Amino acid sequence: MTVEPNDVEVIRADALAGIPHGFLGRRGGVSTGIYAGLNVGLGSDDDRAALAENRRRVVAAVKPGTTLATVHQVHSAIAVTADAFADEARPHADALVTDRPDLLLGILTADCVPILFADAQAGVVGAAHAGWKGALGGVVAATVDAMEALGADRVRVAAAIGPCIGRASYEVDDAFLARFCTDDPHNERFFLAGRRAGHHQFDIEAYVVARLAAAGIPRIEALGLDTYANEHRFFSYRRATHRGEPGYGREISVIGLPA
């Protein structure tokens, strides 16, 4: 993992070396108040001009001259082939793939797991938003399948997991644990006893690593950065909720193809 020290912080994964990409946090943006920093969430009530400038800065920091493509995320396992979607016409999905070098794929998160994928040989990249529903529902496998439909081969795909809520910060209840163990009893290994009776600490990053491995991805890098615990670096939905704040910002993870 490398971090480029400029106005917009760009965190890059070694597994995706040579591929234009970055996991961006809240540093370097123009939003203010509870959204202070590089908020890119079109679903927030942040100032529209600030959002547009922040999204422009994302493209400039990672791959200038490309078009940023994002989706209307709905915690699904739907992966789509990207186009230059207008903001108001973004498809409802949680992953994008492309073989077009003029696009920069973007996934928004604020505790959920961002995953970036690349098959450099085939010239195919992907980005997925894996909240617990999407991760459990199969968004990883859907993304890999969509990449292969464009000519990728999963045995060549590298994947990197960006900033997400860490196990120490992610407390869940018995019903949540039961849902995962009903799907697969081996999922119990991703939970530790919580600090309160009837509660558990969920390692969603490790769970997503396991889903990537199960999908046949040979190279996986997890950055181990906790969005909840790093207030000045990342937005966090759970942190904002615990504080009773009226909204929360979203960070973005992006990937494109070499020129």
Give the residue among 20, 8, 2, 6 at the shortest CA–CA distance from 254.
20
In a domain, 132, yes or no: yes
In a domain, 7, yes or no: yes
Average pLDDT over residues 36-42: 96
> What CATH number is associated with residue 125?
3.60.140.10
Residue 28, number of CB atoms within 10 A of its CB: 17
In which domain, by residue range, is 148 found?
Answer: 2-166+203-255
Phi and psi at residue 114, in whole multiples of 5°?
A: -90, 135
In a domain, 53, yes or no: yes
Q: What is the pLDDT of residues 103-150, one digit of tens each?
A: 999 999 999 999 999 999 999 999 999 999 999 999 999 999 999 999
In a domain, 188, yes or no: no
The dihedral of CA 229, 232, 234, 238: what is its sign?
positive
Give the residue among 75, 169, 175, 91 at the shortest CA–CA distance from 129.
75
In a domain, 13, yes or no: yes
Q: What is the pLDDT of residues 24-35, one digit of tens each?
A: 999 999 999 999
In a domain, 192, yes or no: no
Percent of the chain with pLDDT over 70: 98
Residue 86, number of CB atoms within 10 A of its CB: 7
3-state helix, strand, coil in the chain (%, to 5): 30, 25, 40
Q: Is the pLDDT of residue 1 over 80?
A: no
In a domain, 245, yes or no: yes
How many domains does the chain divide into?
A: 1
Q: Is the pLDDT of residue 173 over 70?
A: yes
pTM: 0.96
Q: What is the pLDDT of residues 70-85, one digit of tens each?
A: 999 999 999 999 987 7
Rounded Cα–Cα distance for residues 121 and 151 (Å): 10
